[in-house]
Chains A and B, each alone.
Chain A
């Protein structure tokens, strides 16, 4: 399933309006913001249609699954938007992760759990807020808002240490561009970043990770940062996205893909967007002087013009580690 979908769910008392554009969206936040009400309205409409009195506007079918029916339903539907409320423990299971990886549905999951087995984007973690009431003062209007920023610049000074999620080309690049007095560490994967940050407590830290799949780590790291203002965070979609964004490769066409990536990614082929960007960069540079390999950085990306083009995308890198 590709594309971005505008969804309106409403009855006489409440209206929800939001967009979904990736295969996994997480909704969390304070109690009493309407999360369960939203799922309940969708479930009611899917069972009873217009007879329910609920209105759902979306070009794809919206439905719910639960602990007991998820497998059979997912075997029988495609091109749907599937909502799962927080009572369902299946979302934590590897079976569930394996199952949805190969389906061409989008999933909206209500949970405060991290779900490390699911590669969801920091940008697709939302809360629900009430924006106001309609003129008749009877119906409240609710929309989604992003809970986290991908660019948390808190430090006043230069970084002393840069922690990079990547251990391959991305790490090679950031290590090469960092000033001599800045220590650049590879965390060796997103799940090890938290521990690496704690091991470097007290230092000015810049954490660089792939935002496209960093969602499971974000909640806890964000809490840590509230008590540790010496930690800043930069979460581009991925290192490959930075290169694609730099304009080094076929500017207009690639820019168009990056502008609305959701229209180019088939969700059943790419569990998260950073895998798409890697494949795109490899295919676009194959046989050229910019030929990209994820395992080892092509030195050409460290030539002055190429390096500058990439750093122009990531001003935060210049600010903290240049």
Chain B
């Protein structure tokens, strides 16, 4: 289930890519779900746990993955209880955030309104207003009414 909090919240990480650089584990990178996300978002191939083949940058290290992918990998694997700022992700990451939340309770922080229109049958729980939204339109309407960012 996806839980969303707009604005600052305790125990959150504002810039997940930096947190990722200092906490990730090699085995995260070669997980089939990571390989798929890295291919989709960064258009890059995982060669091994420490090497990525980027069509733009050539052979790169894990630390040169995009901020969006790093944030997704934290949402997928990190078990510290931290809440990650999904505003570090572009809208092209939205479907992956939603996909991750189908398999675990995932709480994200947002400092802007993310476009989840690419997610089929979207639903989420909005922590700020204690409301369940059952569609993307309901999510938008609810998000517009919330002042916090």
A residues adjacent to B (C-beta < 8 A): 13-14, 28-34, 36-37, 86-87, 89, 112-114, 130, 140, 194, 198, 219-220, 223-224, 226-227
| Nearest neighbor of B18 in chain A, beta-carbon distance | A87
Q: B112 contacts which of A14, A140, A219, A226 (Cβ < 8 Å)?
A: A219
| Nearest neighbor of B110 in chain A, beta-carbon distance | A112
What is the size, in residues, of chain B's interface with A at 8 Å between Cβ atoms? 34
- B102 → A minimal CB distance (Å): 20
B137 at the interface (CB under 8 A from A): yes
Contact call A194/B144, Cβ cutoff below 8 A: yes
Q: B93 contacts which of A31, A223, A227 (Cβ < 8 Å)?
A: A31
In this complex, the member of B17, B43, B68, B113 whose beta carbon has the largest number of chain A beta carbons within 10 angstroms is: B113
Q: Collect the chain A residues with CB atoms within 8 Å of residue B55's CB.
A: 140
A-B contact pairs, 30 of them (CB 8 A): A13-B56, A14-B57, A28-B90, A30-B90, A31-B89, A31-B90, A32-B43, A32-B68, A32-B92, A36-B67, A37-B57, A86-B15, A86-B67, A86-B88, A87-B14, A87-B17, A89-B14, A112-B87, A112-B90, A112-B112, A113-B87, A113-B111, A113-B149, A140-B55, A198-B144, A220-B112, A224-B144, A226-B117, A227-B136, A227-B140
Q: Collect the chain A residues with CB atoms within 8 Å of residue B136's CB.
A: 227
- A8 → B minimal CB distance (Å): 17
Q: Mark B23-66, 1 if CB is under 8 A from A, else 0.
A: 00000000000000000011100000000000111100000001
B69 at the interface (CB under 8 A from A): yes
| Nearest neighbor of B145 in chain A, beta-carbon distance | A198
Contact call B144/A31, Cβ cutoff below 8 A: no
